[in-house]
Chain A
Amino acid sequence: MTTHNMLIAPDFSPERFAGWHMFNILIQKRANLNMHLNMPASHAEQEALIDAGDIQVIYANPFDAATLIREQGYRAVARPIGKSDEMVIAASANSDINCLEDLTAGSTISMANNRDVKLIGLRLLEAVDLEEADLNWTVTETYQAAARQVIKGDSQAGFFLAEVFHSFSRLTKTQLNVLIESDLADISHVLLIKEDFPDTEILMNAILNLHNDDDGKEALTELGMPQGFEPMSEEDAEFMLDLMETLMD
């Protein structure tokens, strides 16, 4: 049996790692397909894997989805229900920075390498007259490392994927002060399938029905998307990409 490659964008919370393996095992069984799970650790690794040209299924972040759909022959087929991509800007609870207005030009922002988070964060900072060039940037390996820098006072604020921020330990969270959390609602990760993939229908059937039984529900809960996936039309995807386009500058 042919083995297909599925890639998961590297920006999920570490606690979801097991969930993606459960997801892969279940859909392989139910669709009777061999799927190899690729979980790149960084955006660069993701790009290298996709450029190698043998990835049929991608759980992509919305920023990457634009290029993958419009330039690389993928189409969006599903998205998680009720799980939009949001971000948090937080400062140290011990600092003098209590609101966005307290951030000034020359401040340092810590963040992991995630372009969606940076893009949305920069859009939120427009409201206090801060642009990318006004700030210093420290890119860390993980969001946890970014949180440590903020707490230690090495940077004035951190940009975090909201889901990861909310998964931090209670101790970490008590040392951080949320300045703003986005509530964009219309932007989410999407499941993409290469246009010439022959088994789309059987794969989609397995994925869209995962929430209908206990094993599927368990995997979805592990992924933090208990309601499962909903189908996404070409127009839904194009609309989201238009929306992303408005945020680019």
Chain B
Amino acid sequence: MGSPLPDANKPDMPSEQITLTYHDGTSRIVYDSGVERPYPDGKLIVSRTDLDGILTHVNDAFVEISGYGVDELISQPQSILRHPDMPKAAYKDLWATAESGQKWHGYVKNLCKDGSHYWVYATVVPNVRHGKTVGYTSVRRKPSRSKIEAAIAQYADMKQNEEG
């Protein structure tokens, strides 16, 4: 998954400190303020990664909502946005699906630089060029509140099973 991410900076707002461990064994301290950012109406949040999940392209909407600068995102693992409430199994399914050449859809809670978060409906497609997968494009859309509530419940169950 590329180079390990440095610990997040402690945000000004009240937040919980959490140590996230990624599937490659690296870990990082992040902060969760519990504050939700509204999805920007009418926009798509777009990024591309290489085969290892390293960001190679981010659009303006991605940069704006993440709270990071473009330079802080490009060449970093996509998992810089990983929220501690997201179950590991969701990402495992995402990567297994995309690596098998299929399209993946799912609801994702993403972590911003300042410890706030936003919900998206994400679609990941492999970028196939001349028969070979060279990277992945991820496009996020605004999910409905009912879908977010369902995902919150489902992910809480999945997390409990992971930890139990």
Residues of A near any B CB (own CB < 8 A): 123-124, 126-129, 180-186, 235, 238-239, 242-243, 245-247, 249
| Contact status A245-B125, CB under 8 Å | yes
Which residues of the other chain, A, contact B144 by a CB distance below 8 angstroms?
126-129
Q: B137 touching A243 by the CB < 8 A rule?
A: yes
**Chain A CB within 8 A of B73 CB:** no
Give B140's nearest chain A residue, CB to CB: A246
| B112, CB-defined interface residue at 8 Å | no
A243-B43 contact, Cβ under 8 Å, with A186-B59, A238-B127: no
A183 touches B125 (CB 8 A): no
CB distance B42 to A182 under 8 Å? yes
| A243–B42 CB distance below 8 A | no
Interface residue from B42, B61, B125 paired with A246 (Cβ < 8 Å): B125
Partner of B103, one of A180, A183, A243, A246: A246
> Number of contacts between A and B (CB, 8 Å)?
61
User: Are A243 and B139 interface neighbours, CB within 8 A?
Assistant: yes
Whether A245 pairs with B43 at a CB distance below 8 angstroms is no
Measured between alpha carbons, how far is A235 from B41 in the docked complex, in Å? 28
Instruction: Assess the A186–B137 pair: CB atoms within 8 A.
Output: no
Q: Are B123 and A246 in contact (CB under 8 A)?
A: yes
CB distance from A242 to the nearest CB of B (A): 4
Interface string of B123-164 (1 = CB under 8 A from A): 111010100000001110111101100000000000000000
Given contacts A124-B142, A126-B121, A185-B61, 11 further A-B contacts (CB under 8 A): A123-B141, A126-B142, A126-B143, A129-B147, A182-B42, A183-B40, A184-B44, A186-B46, A242-B125, A243-B137, A246-B138
Q: Which of A127, A235, A239, A249 contacts B143 (CB 8 A)?
A: A127
A180 touches B42 (CB 8 A): yes
Near A by CB (< 8 A), chain B positions 86-115 give: 103, 105
CA distance A235 to B139 in the complex (A): 17
Question: What are 22 of the A-B contact pairs (CB < 8 Å)?
Answer: A126-B141, A126-B144, A127-B39, A127-B142, A180-B42, A183-B42, A184-B42, A184-B44, A185-B61, A186-B46, A238-B127, A238-B129, A239-B127, A239-B137, A242-B125, A243-B44, A245-B103, A246-B103, A246-B123, A246-B138, A246-B139, A249-B105
